[in-house]
Amino acid sequence: MAKDTTGTFSAEEKAAIKQYAAEKREQAKAAKAADAREQGIAAALAAIEALPEPDRSLAAKIHEIVTRVAPELDPSTWYGFPSYKKAGKVVVFYQSAAKFKTRYGTLGFQEDAQLDDGPMWPVAFAVLEIGPAEEQRIAELVRRAAG
């Protein structure tokens, strides 16, 4: 390769600089995404911890189920509730009974959840306790919702 004596970069050097800049942008984007995921996890856990019992235990169990069966969903909060997103959109959430003084917490699914089943299907479930049967049902719903 001939040395450029005019003080400008050669075509190869310019291409290398562009490649380096693209790599740095991708690395920054990946770091930002990882940081956003960690912040979302921390926010979801803090929202769960702030709930009174029995909501706290129910939300913690739902968090454990969702993160186990659909690790691709990003934990976050939605209106102060623990929620789980796919491509930035809430798919599943837990709404505490205490927040609106209702007799049960709600496991809810948003429109991006893949729960379609004919012309009508449930998108919210009252949750009073989570035993083995409920855990299995929640896991099945979350798997479907995540796509």
- The CATH code of the domain that includes 109 is 3.90.1150
Domain count within the chain? 1
- Side-chain half-sphere of 77: how many Cα atoms within 13 Å? 15
pLDDT above 90 for 49: yes
For residue 62 the two structure tokens come to 């739902």
Taking the C-alpha atoms of residue 119 and residue 97, their distance in angstroms, rounded to an integer, is 29
Q: 136 is in which domain, residue-wise?
A: 11-146
- Residue 72 counted as domain residue: yes
What percent of the chain has a predicted confidence (pLDDT) above 70? 95
Q: Is residue 1 part of a domain?
A: no
* Percent of residues, the chain, with pLDDT higher than 90: 73
Is residue 2, in this structure, part of any structural domain at all? no
End-to-end CA distance of the chain: 52
Nearest CA-CA partner of 61 in 8, 108, 9, 129: 129
Residue 4 located in a structural domain: no
6 domain-assigned: no
**pTM of the predicted protein model:** 0.80
Q: Which helix (H) or strand (E) holds 61?
A: helix 55-69
> Does position 35 have pLDDT exceeding 90, yes or no?
no
- Is the pLDDT at 9 greater than 80, yes or no? yes
pLDDT in tens, 57-87: 999 999 999 999 999 999 999 999 999 999 9
